[in-house]
Every structure is written in structure tokens, then in C-alpha cells.
Amino acid sequence: MEELPEISESDDLAGLVEERVDLEDGDVLCVASTVVSKAEGRKADLSAFPASERAEAIADRLESVTGDRKDPRFAQAVLEESEALLTEAPFLLAVTRFGHITVNAGIDRSNVPGADLLLLPEAPSDSAERLSEALSVPVIVTDTSGRPFRYGQRGVAVGWAGLSAARDWRGESDRDGRELGVTVQAVVDELAATANLVAGEGGGGTPAVVVRGWSFGDHAGSDDLFRREEDDIVREALQEWAFDG
């Protein structure tokens, strides 16, 4: 695929992809949230986020814990992009307004020419829906995200349209004839991780990846991806936990 240009506000992302690749039935298009955000005008400067008292307090706390001075306006941007903060130290773990939980509400400071910050799309599944309608294939909006228990980041789906988020293997049999009772496979995350691997993280300029020849198969689908608060014991535990390092 010919390289996509640097994306700017109001660019027709679907049109730019369509000019570069002949999408086929069965393809799934994975797009980095970075370029969706740029097309949706989600670049912002720190000056747009005058710090509240709470943001100042968060920045002071982060500085005392990490030794680095954090810009309180950055903390303010995270607060404004979040429904709740699960931790304020040693980093800001935020529940975004669309339900994805990630450090700093997914606000990026890399690959953002001409601005301080790039916010995630406001509603990435709505973004995916618009792209999917324009391109007539399922679309996954991805972001690079950290994970608990392991070093290193990987791609996750933050929005999707045209396919279910997960395929449900429950009720099917393993090779031994034993019925599967638990497994619901989060296919949009698995595809997002693969696409993110191809996209890379630096200046490579590969924000769109076509998955070809993969099939959802004959399974029940589910759109449950972001855990509901009442089903999330880790979230509950974090709300009662305070960093004392």
C-alpha cells in the first residue's frame, strides 16, 4: 500500500485508504487511533487545559513519587478525558469516557506534529462505524497500550464496527469432546495486536493494516469487551488501593 500522508483535521481517511488498497470481501481494516484522532481534530495544546486545583495536586503527588515534574495541564487533560481515575500515582490510570481503561487516558505525545497532545477519538466505535460504512468492510480502531503483569506494550482495540468484539466458544467441544465452559475470545484485540505489530510505533508511517483471509467462523458473537464495573474485581481493588512508595 502506498504510504498514507501525514493526516490532518477533516482529511477523508476512508477515501485516502480506498485510493491505496482494493479492499475485498472478508477483509478487516485495522486503523491506528492516532490517525483517526488527527482526522477528527483531536490534536490539542496544553494551553487548552488550565490546571484545576485537583490537577495541581495530582502533578505535585506524581512529582514527589517519581522525581519528575509533571505539567499540571497534562493532568488536567487526562482528567477531562476521563470518567474516573483508578490510580493517581505512580501514574494516572484512567477510565476513558467510552469505557477503555488505560494510562493517561490514551493521550499521546508522540507522532503529533504541530501540537502538544493527541487525544483519543471521542467515541472510537462510532469512528469505526463511519469508516466501515464508507469502506464496506469491518473496521477496528487500535491503540498501543500497556498491560498489567507483563513488561511491554501491545495493540488493543479501542473501537470496532462491522464485526463482533468477541467470539464465543462456550458450548463447543475440545478435541476430547469436553464442552468449553468459559472461553470467549476477544478477537478484536487479537487482530489489533497483530496489526499494531505490523504498524510499529515510531515514524514508520503505517497506520492502516488490512487483515485478509481471516474469518470469524460460525460462532456466537459478543460486543462485551470493556468490563462492566460490577464485574471488575481488579478495578474494585484498585479503588481501595493507594500507592505508598
Positions that interact with ligand GDP (CB under 6 A)? 3-4, 6-7, 32-35, 38, 108, 110-111, 142-144, 199-207
**Which of 54, 52, 104 shows the shortest CA–CA distance to 81?**
104
Tell me how far CA of residue 141 lies from CA of 36, 37, 122, 162, in angstroms.
Answer: 8, 10, 12, 12
- Percentage helix, strand, coil, to 5, in the chain? 30, 20, 45
x-marked contacts with Mn ion along 90-109 as a string, rule CB under 5 A = ------------------x-
| Burial call 92-106: b when 16+ CB within 10 Å, e when fewer | bbbbbebebbbebbb
Query: How much is the CA Rg of the chain, to the nearest whole Å?
Result: 19
104 interacts with, out of ligand GDP, Mn ion, none, CB within 5 to 8 A per kind: none
From the list ligand GDP, Mn ion, none, partner contacted by residue 110 (C-beta under 5 to 8 A by kind): ligand GDP
Q: Which is nearer to ligand GDP, 3 or 24 (CB)?
A: 3
Q: Whole-number minimum distance, CB 126 to ligand GDP, in Å? A: 17
CB closer to Mn ion, 127 vs 144: 144
Q: Which is nearer to Mn ion, 58 or 120 (CB)?
A: 120
Q: Which residues bind Mn ion (CB under 5 A)?
A: 108, 143-144, 201
